[in-house]
């Protein structure tokens, strides 16, 4: 069945270091991917998205990489700050044009001062 | 990014009562909104897709008579939890889509 998962449930990094959060997806028909950040008690916040016709997209301090060959998505955060501590979810649009998203299980990013 | 609001942010109710949660897209028109439920330390579980002017589409296992959804305008969708029971206690989150889904801040429901 369709599923989106993340390799590590928790990632701990030192403040100032770069963070890499990984995600594996199983539906080869997915052509749109999004990373969300969710802080405790709040709704998910859009970070960055990428379409399948690209393999890299950069934002402010964040980069998303897409490897369609191995169905792998990653989020890189440069110079990680304490405010980056949150749960990060990847999501894919799956097959069909429903607008629905399939979410991964989430990775908790802990930033050590 | 687009702004989506939810009201109330948290609600406590007695078992057997009904609770209405509002979801509004503040700066864009959303023909489609989604309702999710999230348990502690878990991912988001899609409950239903709400389409403006038509009936909602519910995911498998979600009771449509239990969770009533109304999408009366392009900026407002409501979720009513009818005859709430303690097992309905959860974090309910909506999203509005203009291709990308933007999420509301969530509503914490506690049923006593």
**Residues of A with Cβ-Cβ distance to B110 under 8 angstroms:** none
- The string of pLDDT tens digits covering residues B49-61 is 998 888 899 999 9
Average pLDDT over residues B37-57: 91
pLDDT given at position B3: 92
Of A43, A101, A104, the CB nearest to B106: A43
Chain A CA closest to residue B30: A99
Residue B31: the pLDDT is: 85
Is the distance from CB of B104 to CB of B5 less than 8 angstroms? Answer: yes
8 Å CB contact of B43 and A99: no
DSSP letter for B105, please: -
* Residue A1: per-residue pLDDT: 29
Instruction: Give DSSP secondary structure letters for B56-100.
Output: -EEPTT--TTTEEEEEEETTEEEEEE-S--GGG-EEEEEEEESSS
pLDDT at A17 over 70: yes
Name the minimum distance, in Å, from the CA of B39 to any CA of chain A. Answer: 11
Nearest to B1 among A46, A100, A106 (CB): A46
pLDDT of residue A96: 74
Q: What is the pLDDT of residues A31-89, one digit of tens each?
A: 999 999 999 999 999 999 999 999 999 999 999 999 999 999 999 999 999 999 999 99
- Whole-number pLDDT of residue B54: 86
Dist. CA B107–CA B92, nearest whole Å: 5
Mean pLDDT of A19-39: 93
Let me know the angle formed at the C-alpha of A44 by B72 and B69, rounded to the nearest 5 degrees: 25
Closest partner CB to B43 (pick from A41, A98, A105): A105
Question: What's the pLDDT at A8?
Answer: 60
Distance between B60 CA and the closest CA of chain A, angstroms: 14
The secondary element (H helix, E strand) that includes residue A76 is strand A72-77
Contacts of B77 (CB under 8 A, 6+ apart): B22, B23, B30, B33, B35, B50, B69, B70, B71, B94, B96
Contact residues, chain B to chain A, C-beta under 8 Å: 1, 4, 6, 32, 34, 42-44, 46, 49, 93, 95, 97, 100-106, 108
Q: Which residues of B touch A36 (CB under 8 A)?
A: 103
Q: Is B93 in contact with A43 (CB distance < 8 Å)?
A: yes
Counting residues of chain B whose pLDDT is more than 70, the rounded percentage is: 99
Contact B44 A98 (CB under 8 A): no
pLDDT of A2 > 70? The answer is no
Number of Cβ within a 10 Å radius of residue B51: 17
Closest-CA residue of B relative to A99 is B99
């Amino acid at each position: 069945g369709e599923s989106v998962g993340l390799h590590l449930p928790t990632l701990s990094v030192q403040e100032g270091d770069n963070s890499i959060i990984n995600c594996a997806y199983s539906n080869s028909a997915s052509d749109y991917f999004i990373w969300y950040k969710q802080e405790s008690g709040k709704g998910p916040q859009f970070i960055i998205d990428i379409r399948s016709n690209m393999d890299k997209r950069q934002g402010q301090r964040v980069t998303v990489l897409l490897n369609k060959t191995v169905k792998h998505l990653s989020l890189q955060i440069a110079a990680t700050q304490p405010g980056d501590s949150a749960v990060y979810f990847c999501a894919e649009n799956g097959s069909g044009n429903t607008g629905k998203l399939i979410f991964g299980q989430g990775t908790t990013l802990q930033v050590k001062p | 990014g687009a702004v989506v609001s939810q009201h109330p942010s948290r609600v406590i109710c007695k078992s057997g009562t009904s609770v209405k949660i509002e979801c509004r897209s503040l700066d864009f028109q959303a023909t489609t909104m989604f309702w999710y439920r999230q348990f502690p330390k878990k991912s988001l579980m899609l409950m239903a897709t709400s389409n403006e002017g038509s009936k909602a589409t519910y995911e498998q296992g979600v009771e449509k008579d239990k969770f009533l959804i109304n999408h009366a305008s392009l900026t407002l969708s409501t979720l009513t939890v009818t005859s709430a029971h303690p097992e309905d206690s959860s974090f309910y989150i909506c999203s509005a889509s203009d291709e990308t889904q933007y999420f509301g801040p969530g509503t914490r429901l506690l049923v006593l």
